Structure 1
Amino acid sequence: MSANRAVAYKGPGEVEVIDTDYPEFELKDGPGVNPANVGRKVPHGAILKTVSTNICGSDQHMVRGRTTAPAGLVLGHEITGEVVEVGPDVEFIKVGDIVSVPFNIACGRCRNCKEGKTGICLNVNPDRPGSAYGYVDMGGWVGGQAEYVLVPYADWNLLKFPDRDQALEKILDLTMLSDIFPTGFHGAYTAGVRPGSTVYIAGAGPVGLAAAVGAQLLGAAVVIVGDLNADRLARARSFGCETVDVSQGDPKDQIEQILGVPEVDSGVDAVGFEARGHGSDASHEAPATVLNALMDLTAAGGALGIPGLYVTGDPGGIDEAAKVGSLSLRLGLGWAKSLSFTTGQCPVMKYNRQLMMAILHDKVHIADAVGATPIGLEDAPQGYADFDQGAAKKYVLNPNGYIQTA
């Protein structure tokens, strides 16, 4: 059996590149694997040789020790790969295909999948609807920050790129289709962004920047991005966004300077549960800050897209309520303003083919917008450390040498 190398969470602040098993068409016991999934046969799956796999802010939450992720969990849910083996039940995906893997694991058979709600598949995680690779409480499907990875329900889940050479040429853009580009676009779309909209996006990390690109694709008149990190704000300005430094105070005041009014049509939360306060409180964690601010600055009748991650278990929460994902929200304000909210995992398959076409036909350059930076698999620990320090980059792991610029 061939060897495999993978990035594993070892404990708060620590990741390590380890030797691990080559995938088989059966889910084995291991860190984070739901006992009910152990021994689950995967004849409908495919084994991929990883072309690219990205470090995500959601991974960073686990690595900081802000979830209940167990030590030894193999990380990585943003995966692009080449098919090297297929199970006996795979009919359409072929060996040699270059494919994007939605981070949602979906069966394609349950009621939710048939309704397009692939982020909350009912059959892949025994604990709750929804699953993902290499993530806490998501059923235990092994992560893809590795040389090889198993993908179940391959005919359903995998998005095949139409031309191998073109795909490899544009791989730094296409690698974003597994998560952050659809997720950011979903945030803008569910916030009701349309031609002529004004939109405020909280967070200039990769998902926030992807949401800004998505808002531009949807025709927004003005896209405003708020953050504490000057380098990330500069990246937002590099592709035409206005910016707000929330360390300087209430974003409403700066929005009024930009628009002439202190409100926007649409708001996007691309920060999540590790949010900090605004102004003089910017050095302190205040997990409800972004959601409350968005309710305040979004116009009556508007909508909030909330792709930022919120969890049900946070050992590092600032109080007992936060440790179980309970936040002090001004829901009365949101109700009074008739605001709409969309939360949860992005259903990647709803958007990934259309966004692929936008990339392949040069309508968008998402890699430039998010600062795609290829690094080797063995450099993953340093990549995590740099990202944690606020690097304005999206680190793309290159475990098998497909990315020639790495």
Structure 2
Amino acid sequence: MPDNRVVVYKGPGEVAVESIDYPKLELPTDVVDGLGIARKAPHAAILKIVTTNICGSDQHMVRGRTTAPVGQSLGHEITGEIVEVGDDVLFAKVGDICSVPFNIACGRCRMCNEGKTGVCLHVNPARPGAAYGYVDMGGWIGGQAEYVMVPFADFNLLRFPDRDQALEKILDLTMLSDIFPTGYHGAVTAGVTTGSTVYVAGAGPVGLAAAHAAQLLGAAAVVVGDMIPERLAQARSFGCETVDLSGDGTLAEQLEQLLGEPEVDAAVDAVGFEARGHGRDAGEAPATVLNSVMEVTRVGGALGIPGLYVTGDPGAADDKAKEGTLGVRIGLGWAKSHSLTTGQCPVKKYNRQLMQAILSDRAQIAKAVNATTITLDDAPRGYQEFDGGVARKFVIDPHGSVAA
């Protein structure tokens, strides 16, 4: 039996690569005991990881800003080659290279039947919705590993049609498991369309993915805001305008300089609960982005909110924020007739179309997010550099599958 190793959270600011058991076609104990379903998973497949990415959501855990326990396995952005399938898997085949949506979904419940795979009812006893390698998400082993088990394989896996083409474009295709659909979801739910002016808060990988998605959707102007010069430069590298929120000018003032008016048609919050206040020496203020995007979005506009907000943040600045209660100016949003969309992106809603955009050279998401390949053993360094604000999306290549 092959060995298996996985990236594990060891405490605030620390991860390590540890040996674990090779996966079996079995469901996690938490899911089996909590939902009263069978442990054996003939509907599952085992994948040899081709690529797996470090996500900003992982970084929240590693910073100690969630209730993740020491020993939590990490990684929910997974692309892999099928090496084993259960007896009930009818269509996924050994040798297929597939993208794995970070949402784990049964394909059988009411939410899955409605296309809301981010809140599947049968994969997590604690709450609707599950993910690989994430706190309170069902106990599923993470995918920053050498091998991983994927349940309900026929429903969850997105097969790439041509193996050679997939490996050639793997740095783009690896983004289909999370950030490209998530960024696209943020732009779609913000109402981005032909000729829109768009503001994206945050120039991390999801923000950059949302900005590229807005371009694909036909936006006339995409403005990205951040406080890190390297990340703002990355946004400009593929045609975005930028605003530096560490300076003295307000967001509305900077938008007016760029667009001729202090507001936009649509806005995306790609920052989430670790937001900082705008301006020099500003401290953490978790409602900053939500309030600022309401301020600059036109009357009747929409806000896409793919940025993560949590119900448990032990590192928050005050007791209210520790439970996810923030000082959001909902009255402003109400007065401006805004619509807001939150929650996990339902990856399956978008991943096939985005795959086709990549394969036809319509989307260059790896370039937009500055995809950078590292080995599994380099994962601790990748986490450290990502936490420092580098303008890179780290792609872990456990088996040397990515061509130089």
Q: Secondary structure at the match of 2:295?
A: helix
- What is the CA-CA distance between 1:35 and the residue it aligns to? 5.0
Q: 1:395 aligns to what SS in structure 2?
A: strand
Distance, in Å, in 1 between the alignment partners of 2:33 and 2:242 is: 47
Instruction: Report matched runs for 1:143-222 at 5 Å.
Output: 143-222=142-221
Distance in 2 between residues matched to 1:154 and 1:27, nearest whole Å: 13
CA RMSD of aligned residues (A): 1.2
Residue segments in structure 1 that go unaligned for 5+ positions in a row: none
Equivalent in the alignment of 1:21: 21
SS of the residue corresponding to residue 81 of structure 1 reads: strand
Number of equivalent positions? 402
CA pair 34-153 structure 1, distance change in 2 beyond 3 A:
closer
User: Do 2:35 and 2:122's aligned partners in 1 also have CA atoms closer than 8 Å?
Assistant: no
SS in 1 for 2:212: helix
Q: Name the counterpart of 2:354.
A: 355
Q: Note the C-alpha offset of 1:401.
A: 1.1
Alignment-derived partner of residue 36 in structure 1: 34
* Cα shift at 1:281: 4.8
Aligned-residue offset at 1:27? 2.8
Aligned to 1:47: 46
Q: Name the residue aligned to 1:337.
A: 336
For 1:224, the equivalent position in structure 2 comes to 223
Q: 1:250 Cα deviation (Å)?
A: 1.9
Correspondence 1:94-113 to 2 at 5 A: 94-113=93-112
2:240 paired residue number: 241
- Could you list the runs of 5+ residues in structure 2 that have no partner in the other structure? none
Distance in 2 between residues matched to 1:34 and 1:275, nearest whole Å: 36
Shift of 1:3: 1.7
Q: Which residue identity lines up with residue 22 of structure 1 in the other structure?
A: Y
Paired position in structure 1 for 2:327: 328
**C-alpha separation in 1, matches of 2:64 and 2:35:** 25
1:36 is displaced (CA, Å) by 2.2
SS of 2:246 mapped into structure 1? helix
Cα separation, 2, equivalents of 1:84 and 1:154:
12
Q: Give the distance between the partners of 1:362 and 1:371, measured in 2 at CA.
A: 17
User: Percent same amino acid among aligned pairs?
Assistant: 72
Matching of residues 115-134 of structure 1 within 5 Å: 115-134=114-133
**How big is the shift at 1:34?**
8.1
CA separation of 1:33 and 1:387: change in aligned 2, threshold 3 A: farther
Structure 2 equivalent of residue 403 of structure 1: 402
List structure 1 runs of 4+ shifted beyond 2 angstroms.
Answer: 32-41
Assess if the C-alpha contact under 8 Å between 2:79 and 2:174 holds in 1.
yes
- After superposition, the C-alpha distances for 1:209-263 in whole angstroms (9 at most, x for unaligned) are 0000000000000000000010000010000000000111421110010011100
- Give SS of 2:23's match: coil
TM-score calculated relative to the size of structure 1? 0.97
CA–CA distance in 2 between the matches of 1:37 and 1:379?
Answer: 37
* 1:321 partner SS: helix
Q: CA deviation at 1:2?
A: 2.7
C-alpha distance in structure 1 between counterparts of 2:325 and 2:254, whole Å: 29
Contact 2:269 2:304 in 1 (8 A): yes
Deviates more, 1:120-129 or 1:34-43: 34-43
Q: Per-residue deviation at 1:33? A: 7.2
